Amino acid sequence: MTGGHQDAIVVSGLRKSYHGRPAVAGLDFTVRRGEVFALLGPNGAGKTTTVEILEGHRRRDGGAVRVLGVDPARGGSEWKARIGVVLQRADDLTHSSVLSVRDWVRSVAAYYPAPRDPDEVIELVGLAGQARVRAAALSGGQRRRLDVALGIVGRPELLFLDEPTTGFDPEARVRFWSLLSRLARDGTTILLTTHYLEEAERLADRVAVVAGGRIVAIATPQTLGGRASATATVRWTGPDGPHSRRTGDPTAVVRELAERFGGVVPELVVQRPSLEDVYLEMIGHASTGTAVGRPETGRPA
């Protein structure tokens, strides 16, 4: 297997079945150090299974995996101290606990050689007001933030986040995004799964779309499915009402409109397919077994 020390994660030919049914059917991807990489895909696509194998929580049936240069199936405590994990399924031990938020973060920090300051982490995840509250008394979204605090307090080089913002209110989500951006700026490699396309678009350097245990596409959010070069729709409002035109050259259309209107084009909008548009198209093709085409051959605007 190839993969230099610039790679945080190298996966090739990864396979895993449950009771003879493939959940992961031959995955290949690489996550570079310092990268934020998102796995997108419908329910049951195999994302959690993949992440759990990379974390060393689940055995694989086949393929090769290196996480920070180590096979997760053989990762010892030194390796575990270098990764941070926020599982999808909530940890009942933490959540039913009579220990306070601060007690939890402090006691988990004690397991790591170079932890972050627990009070700083509590502040970072927005739980400063709940530091003395028993974990069991937190709301669902607050518990999720505690999970995140426990995942980052060890100052991991690599952070796994499985649907981290499920249950967050919009303000908490935006706050969490800036926290992740800050971790990424500090050099933390991040692998996340999410169902929120806006989250992937805001955070990820690259996204992999997974369906049926296979990778359908890997690209930057901006270029996935040929988004950046896809046919655009130009909309504007004339004296007789709203208009729209699909075009491969929106600049030319806008120039023509600007001339026609003698300057400002009323209610001018130029739209390319959204990440959601290309994602849904890919998933639709993957589930019907059709090859994935470029969006310009796909849905009308």
CB of 23 or CB of 38, closer to ligand ATP: 23
CB 140 to ligand ATP: min, Å: 17
Total residues binding ligand ATP (CB under 6 A) = 11
Separation CA 195–CA 42 (nearest Å): 8
Token pair of 126 as six digits: 């927005």
Closer by beta carbon to ligand ATP, 41 or else 154? 41
Beta-carbon contacts of 104 under 8 Å, excluding residues fewer than 6 positions away, are: 94, 97, 135, 146, 149, 150
The reply on whether position 82 binds ligand ATP by CB under 6 A is no
Nearer to ligand ATP, 48 or 231 (CB): 48
Radius of gyration of the chain (CA): 22
Selected binder of ligand ATP within 30, 48, 130, 233 (CB under 6 A): 48
Asked if 266 interacts with ligand ATP (CB under 6 A), we say: no
Q: What six digits make up the tokens of 272? A: 């390319």
Instruction: Please give the backbone phi and psi of residue 293, each rounded to the nearest 5 degrees, phi first.
Output: -100, 180
**Residue span binding ligand ATP (CB under 6 A) among the ranges 2-10, 45-53, 168-176, 197-205:** 45-53
Question: What is the Cα–Cα distance from 244 to 174, expressed in whole angstroms?
Answer: 33
Query: Shortest gap between Cβ of 88 and ligand ATP (angstroms)?
Result: 6
What string marks each residue from 114 to 133 as x (binds ligand ATP by CB under 6 A) or -? --------------------
List residues bridging with 210 in a β-sheet. Answer: 215
Q: Closest separation between CB of residue 45 and ligand ATP, Å?
A: 4
Is there binding between residue 18 and ligand ATP (CB under 6 A)? yes
Q: How many CB atoms lie within 10 A of CB 225?
A: 22
In 133-282, where do the E strands start and end?
A: 158-162, 189-193, 206-211, 214-219, 232-238, 241-247, 269-271
Q: Which stretch binds ligand ATP (CB under 6 A): 39-47, 171-179, 245-253, 271-279?
A: 39-47
Whole-number minimum distance, CB 47 to ligand ATP, in Å? 3
H or E stretch covering 275? helix 275-288
Q: Could you say which of 23, 31, 105, 124 contacts ligand ATP (CB under 6 A)?
A: 23
Q: CB–CB of 222/229 below 8 Å?
A: no
Exactly one of 7, 27, 30, 46 binds ligand ATP (CB under 6 A); which one?
46
47 or 60: CB nearest ligand ATP = 47
User: Does 164 interact with ligand ATP (rule: CB under 6 A)?
Assistant: no
Interface with ligand ATP (CB under 6 A), residue from 45, 65, 105, 203: 45
Instruction: Give Cβ neighbours of residue 274 (< 8 Å, ≥ 6 apart).
Output: 197
CA-to-CA separations, 145 to 80, 128, 233, 290, in angstroms, rounded: 21, 11, 40, 40
Query: Least distance from C-beta 39 to ligand ATP, angstroms?
Result: 8
- Binding ligand ATP (rule: CB under 6 A), the pick from 47, 155, 206, 272 is 47
257 contacts: CB under 8 Å, gap ≥ 6:
234, 236, 265, 268
Task: Verify binding: residue 41, ligand ATP, rule CB under 6 A.
Answer: yes
Residues that bind ligand ATP (CB under 6 A): 18, 23, 41, 43-49, 88
